[in-house]
Amino acid sequence: METWLVALVVCGVYLAVTLAMGILPGLKVSKSIAGYVAADRAMGFVVLYFVLGASIFSSFAFLGGPGWAYSRGASAFYIIAYGTIGMVPFYFMGPRARRLGQRFGFVTQAELLSHRYDSRALSVVLAAVSLVAFVPYLTLQMEGAGLILNTITEGRVSEAVGAAVTYGVVVVYVLTSGVLGVGWTNTFQGLFMMVIAWFLGLWLPARLYGGVGEMFAAIAASEKAALLEAPGLTASGEPWSWAGFSSAVLISAIGFSMWPHLFMKAYAAKSDRALRRTVVMYPTFQIFLVPILLIGFAGVLAYPGVEKTDQILPYVLTQIEGLSPIVIGLVCAGTLAASMSSGDSILHSAASVGVCDGLAKAVPRGWLDDRKERLWIRGLVVVLAALAYYFAVASETSLVELLLMSYGWIAQIFPLAFAAFYWPRATGAGALSGLLAGFAVNTLFRLWPALSPIAGMHEGIWGLAANVAVFVAVSLLTAPQATERVRSYVEA
């Protein structure tokens, strides 16, 4: 059999197993919003660990990570750095969110914040921002899935068909099983991509250079040595500034636990203990970025001149001698796993947020009952998947800019979440005006970077400064919120 066909069969088997694993748990979970969105608040450590880990490791990590290491060198270490520090706040805030969710019945991030700050407007704003951030994110995952299938089959499977089949599977298990479908498939996908990453990250340098140390020594001795010096290069090949590197690490770390699809997994945890253990053990997932970056570094001297750097992983696979077609298929499936395990979580959260925080807050109270809400969420799952698919294959619009901008927006949620638990004097007016100021300033400096007082600084930093200043000032100028409500958060 030809290589591409073997690889395609392996991917097909992987997709079939994923589909089965995604549909089965849906037969057990209760038919309710708490069941569909928060797994009846009963997720244990193992599944939670893989859900969080695999949701974060997207096709950006699997394709973009090696691409960055290949073309921008040490700047890719920023991905390791922000994950290292970004998850820690969740150790403290996550369990509080979980207990409040249990007490008040929250299943989304905005439900908690809009309750604490007694503001329906806040909920609608957060829902809108989440959707704007999620659609490009999902689009990129679909493009990643289409791209890998296209490259591995040497163009025989078009990107449109590849993306449609993979995300067809995702839509089916998200529809049937909700977050539990995400949970069990992510456990499988997470294990799968970890094994693939470690194998490939150690095997490629050994095959091409005789070892990891030898590979780095060879790069250090070549004219590409500058790649290995932090903070690496920018996309255009210039040295990246320390202001740019440090602020990018900070903003990504601050936003890390604020991504709605990650934050809302606190409600799925069955206990504080399960949630804390997940956060504590997260670095064991994070460390597998190291072999992923090694894949990219392996290409630097062996395969110079690859222009589409996101394709360096599949490119190396199709070029290298002596790799079994089954292994190529497994790597391809591992990349699909990375794409799907983020895509499913994003799709599920985006639809839940859109309905629970957007629609339910915009229509008269009582209009949506539990059954109707689930129906709307499922409908929105299909609509959002179709929209992202349109952007992925049919539209020429590039959403990358929107996604980059959204990292700065998401970080603006952090002061609100922090103050919800730790600053009793924070008020709804303060929270909403701070958030809007943060978004505005963030967007301003993103669109006109020349205005920035420090060249190369991530615009999110200026957004956060404006956010916190306005949040604190307006809170102190407005009447405190009802003590009972605030107390339940501060003492949660």
Partner 1 sequence: MSATPRSVLDRESLPTGLVLFPPGTDPRKKRRRLLFAAFYLLVVASVLWPVYPLFSGIRPMILGLPLSLAWVVFALLAGFAALLALYATEVDPGETG
Nearest to 65 by CA among 200, 209, 188, 254: 200
Per CB under 8 A, does 88 bind partner 1?
Answer: yes
Per-residue 3-state assignment (H helix, E strand, C coil) for 143-155: HHHHHHHHHHCCC
Closest to partner 1 by CB, 206 vs 402, is 206
Rg, C-alpha atoms of the chain? 22
CB atoms within 10 A of CB 412: 29
Closest to partner 1 by CB, 243 vs 302, is 243
Query: Can you read off the two tokens belonging to residue 106?
Result: 């929250």
Specify the 3-state DSSP secondary structure of 110.
helix
- Please, which of residues 267-306 interact with partner 1 by CB under 8 A? 271-273, 276-277, 279-280, 283-284, 286-287, 290, 293
- Please, which of residues 404-423 interact with partner 1 by CB under 8 A? 422-423
Per CB under 8 A, does 220 bind partner 1?
Answer: yes
Closest to partner 1 by CB, 203 vs 423, is 423
Per CB under 8 A, does 96 bind partner 1?
Answer: yes
Q: Smallest distance, Å, CB 283 to partner 1?
A: 4
Per CB under 8 A, does 250 bind partner 1?
Answer: yes
Per CB under 8 A, does 95 bind partner 1?
Answer: yes
Phi, psi of 85 (to 5 degrees): -100, -20
Q: Smallest distance, Å, CB 134 to partner 1?
A: 28
Per CB under 8 A, does 482 bind partner 1?
Answer: yes
Q: How far is CA 311 from CA 148, 150, 321, in A?
A: 8, 11, 18
Cα-based angle 208, 209, 215 (whole degrees, multiple of 5): 120
Q: Smallest distance, Å, CB 422 to partner 1?
A: 5
Closest to partner 1 by CB, 154 vs 229, is 229
Per CB under 8 A, does 25 bind partner 1?
Answer: no
Query: Can you read off the two tokens belonging to residue 455?
Result: 């060249």
Q: How far is CA 349 from CA 38, 332, 422, in A?
A: 10, 26, 26
Closest to partner 1 by CB, 271 vs 318, is 271
Specify the 3-state DSSP secondary structure of 204.
helix
Q: Residues 6, 24, 85, 402: which binds partner 1 (CB under 8 A)?
A: 85
Closest to partner 1 by CB, 379 vs 424, is 424
Per CB under 8 A, does 105 bind partner 1?
Answer: no
Q: Residues 60, 68, 77, 256: which binds partner 1 (CB under 8 A)?
A: 77
Specify the 3-state DSSP secondary structure of 269.
strand
Q: Give residue for tokens 């089959």.
A: 153
Q: 173 with 185: CB under 8 angstroms?
A: yes
Per CB under 8 A, does 98 bind partner 1?
Answer: no
Q: Smallest distance, Å, CB 256 to partner 1?
A: 12
Per CB under 8 A, does 472 bind partner 1?
Answer: no
Q: Residues 99, 120, 207, 224: which binds partner 1 (CB under 8 A)?
A: 99
Per CB under 8 A, does 387 bind partner 1?
Answer: no
Amino acid at 270: K
Per CB under 8 A, does 265 bind partner 1?
Answer: no
CB atoms within 10 A of CB 233: 18
Specify the 3-state DSSP secondary structure of 43.
strand
| Cβ neighbours for 199, distance < 8 A, ≥ 6 positions apart | none
Measured CA to CA, the distance from residue 469 to residue 465 in angstroms comes to: 6
Per CB under 8 A, does 239 bind partner 1?
Answer: no
Measured CA to CA, the distance from residue 50 to residue 27 in angstroms comes to: 21
Measured CA to CA, the distance from residue 125 to residue 227 in angstroms comes to: 41
Closest to partner 1 by CB, 162 vs 291, is 291
What residues line the site for partner 1 (CB under 8 A)?
A: 74, 77, 80-81, 83-85, 88, 91-92, 95-96, 99, 211-214, 216-217, 220, 225, 228-231, 242-243, 245-246, 249-250, 253, 271-273, 276-277, 279-280, 283-284, 286-287, 290, 293, 422-425, 476, 479-483, 486, 490-492
